[in-house]
Amino acid sequence: MRRSRVLEKLRAGLPVSSIKLNLDNARVAELAAMAGADCLWLDLEHVAADWAVLEAQIYAAKVYDVDVMVRVARGSYSDYIRPLELDAAGIMVPHVMSLEDARAVVRQTRFQPLGRRPLDGGNADGAYAQVGAKEYTAFANQNRFLMLQIEDPEPLPELAAIAALPGVDILFFGPGDFSHALGVPGDFSHPDLVDAKRRVAAAARA
């Protein structure tokens, strides 16, 4: 099973580089991986990607030891765990609205003792059942990352608790939708947006 390059660098206090792709093509993913980024960001929220193409993109990135993070569509636990079972190194969950919402995401995407993610192990992330369940679940909890996207005003009062939640690795501030929520779409210099961005960064650092 493959360790996450993103997590290893973050835990060592090193910066991480990522390239976002809105093109559902494995060759484009391979070219991006060859460019030297640590992670490719693929999208299922705003891109009508085919699952077979997504799988090919993940394989193309892994050839160059590059992580893939998939921004998932908000939906059932299946929408969250399928990219992980294809061996994506992490997922980003958009529009996390509260501490309760964040806890539900952790419960659906982390194995015990952090959550109750449904257990299979027979896919790429579990080496196609070539390792035992205990090794698989412990490895996944340690080497697959969960990123929560803060892009609405609602979760701001609970930012500290969301950031401290066991099983959450990264907070990502989404300025586009936050500006939309404020009624000033595209105004990334709005004082309320700048303040929210700083608050997210402070919560993550703490």
- DSSP for 10-32 reads HHTT----EEE-----HHHHHHH
- DSSP for 62-90 reads HHTT-EEEEEPPSSSHHHHHHHHHTT-SE
Beta bridge partners of 138: none
Instruction: Look up 95 and say whether it is catalytic.
Output: no
Catalytic residue among 46, 95, 180, 190: 46
Quote the CA–CA distance of 203 and 151 in Å, as a whole number.
Answer: 14
CA angle 164, 71, 150 (to 5 degrees): 40
Residues known to be catalytic = 46
